[in-house]
Amino acid sequence: MALLDEKNLMAERTRRARFRVHHVGTKLNEAELHGLEALAAKENKTHAELIRGLILREIEREKLGPCPSVELEEITACRLLLINVLGPLAMGQKMSPELLSATIEEITKQEVRLARGRLKDYQARR
């Protein structure tokens, strides 16, 4: 059996694809370098580990799409609660404690999804 047959070459190519061989670099001024060094020391990482982690997190964040802040999620939940509670009350309907609890529970389940939708709408208008 030859050492360089096609099967071995493909297996070696697959194995090497996981190696980190591509370099990405940038230049920093003194203040930026001090900020990088302070952050790396705080997280107990080398510059390379810190930068690689930042890049990989940003790539993953980009795949997920816009991510609303906790504040936007809470504002969305409050808005939904107001709409779902004040509307029926303004029309003279009564709301039982069970219905209020079910409404709050449903809003809690939906608030992140709805906040993402509101954020996407906002970004589309800009």
Tell me the C-alpha distance between 124 and 8, whole Å: 50
**Contacts made by residues 96-105, CB under 8 angstroms, sequence distance 24+:** none
Q: How far apart are the first and last CA of the chain?
A: 63
Number of Cβ within 10 Å of residue 112's Cβ equals 16
Q: Spell out a b/e string for 85-99, using b for 16 or more CB atoms within 10 Å of the CB, else e.
A: beeeeeeeeeeeeee
54-66 pLDDT, tens digit per residue, is 999 999 888 877 7
Reading the block at residue 114, the tokens are: 């709805």
From first to last of its 126 residues, the chain has per-residue pLDDT tens of: 456 677 778 888 888 888 888 888 899 999 999 999 999 999 999 999 999 999 999 998 888 777 788 888 889 889 989 988 888 888 888 888 898 899 889 888 888 888 888 888 887 887
SS3 letters across 9-29: HHHHHHHHCCCCCCCCCCCCC
Cα separation of 76 and 111, whole Å? 6
Residue among 69, 62, 54 at smallest CA distance from 116:
69
